[in-house]
Amino acid sequence: CSFFHSSFSCRFIAKPCALGLKVQANGPQKAQPNAILEKVFTAITKHPDEKRLEGLSKQLDWDVRSIQRWFRQRRNQEKPSTLTKFCESMWRFTFYLYIFTYGVRFLKKTPWLWNIRQCWNGYPNQPLMPDVHYYYIVELSFYWSLMFSQFIDVKRKDFGIMFTHHIVTVLLVTFSYVTNLTRVGTLVICLHDGSDIILEAAKMANYCKCQKLSDLLFLTFAIVFIVSRLGIYPLWILNATLFELYEALGSFPFLWVLNMLLLVLQVLHCFWSYLIIKTAYKAISKGKVAKDNRSDVESSSDEEETGPCSKTPHSTITANGTGGANGTNGYLTGGTCSEEH
């Protein structure tokens, strides 16, 4: 169901909005066709080492720099376009905004929002309210979809961290539902959704090239994230589950499993906070927000190689072993390196 809503939203809502905001639909530059390099890329390695690069250089009569550039373009070719990323961010922004609003409207009527000790009052004989049941089912389906979509999308640099986060989140939601610890579960869910709204809004502003708005939203996100994940979460949630829950109900096996999962989540919060503070510092010092190191950088987005350019470019470059009038696969004969600096 979550996949269906994501596809529907991206196609009929997000995409028209993106086109109206003049978000570019073109993706990264594509590498020119080359049968030998394509075979190496698909069957052997996407990141050839120095020895393999030298062998390919001799086989194709290319300089090593051109082969490195081809592999970089081929890796980047698998990235989604800016339009696709905008649509994905808009879908997540819409979901987070809806579910956070729903959670706040529901929780403000509950006694445990204002007094967290009410989470344990009458446990385990606490009736499951329909609103809580709906809240849990929607959140669980969303995080299941995120976990599976990671294997379909281009792998990002923090794939392992994000996958760990999704696993822990799914386990927490499922475990708290099964053990009827849903009251404290609703607090954890709502607390985490708030900052994600601002992050997705910052990404959309960046894709629309509204740099000042993107910077402002990112800095706002950094403040909200750190205050909620490093302040409210440990002082309010963890304090209640580690100490108050033990005082109220004593020791039981479910208690240790719950706290272990919540502590793993806190470790992830610390890691992400470090990256966010690092990015925010660069934003303040340089006056521009760099790419979000937390989750929006693909593993295939390599930096420019710093190796020296070939001092003696080939006067004739062959395409798959045959001569070409304009050089091999778009690389002009006798061309100079464009990354000298």
CA distance 179 to 258: 10
- Terminal Cα distance for the chain, rounded: 50
Residue 208: partners with Cβ closer than 8 Å, 6 or more residues away: 21, 22, 23, 86
Q: What is the pLDDT of residue 184?
A: 94
Closest CA to 56 of 74, 75, 35, 73: 35
Closest CA to 193 of 80, 106, 289, 274: 106
Higher pLDDT, 136 or 148: 136
Residue 331 in tokens = 């690389």
CA distance 233 to 226: 10
CA distance 291 to 279: 8
CB contact at 8 A, 79 and 298: yes
Residue 111 pLDDT > 50, yes or no?
A: yes
CA distance 143 to 167: 9
Let me know how long the chain is. Answer: 341
Q: What domains does the chain contain, in order, with CATH numbers?
A: 27-79 (1.10.10.60), 82-289 (no CATH)
CA distance 197 to 252: 36
- CA–chain centroid gap for 197, Å, is 13
- CA–chain centroid gap for 206, Å, is 15
Residue 324 pLDDT > 70, yes or no?
A: no
Residue 101 pLDDT > 60, yes or no?
A: yes
Average pLDDT, integer, range 286-308: 45
Q: Name the residue type at position 271.
A: F
CA distance 305 to 68: 8
pTM for this model (two decimals): 0.71
Q: What is the pLDDT of residue 107?
A: 95
> How many CB atoms sit inside 10 A of residue 183's CB?
22
Report phi then psi at 151, rounded to 5: -80, -20
Tens of pLDDT, residue by residue over 15-42, are 566 656 566 666 667 777 888 888 888 8
Tens of pLDDT, residue by residue over 183-239, are 999 999 999 999 999 999 999 998 888 888 998 999 999 999 999 999 999 999 999
Highest mean pLDDT among 42-56, 278-292, 315-329 belongs to 42-56
Residue 245 pLDDT > 80, yes or no?
A: yes
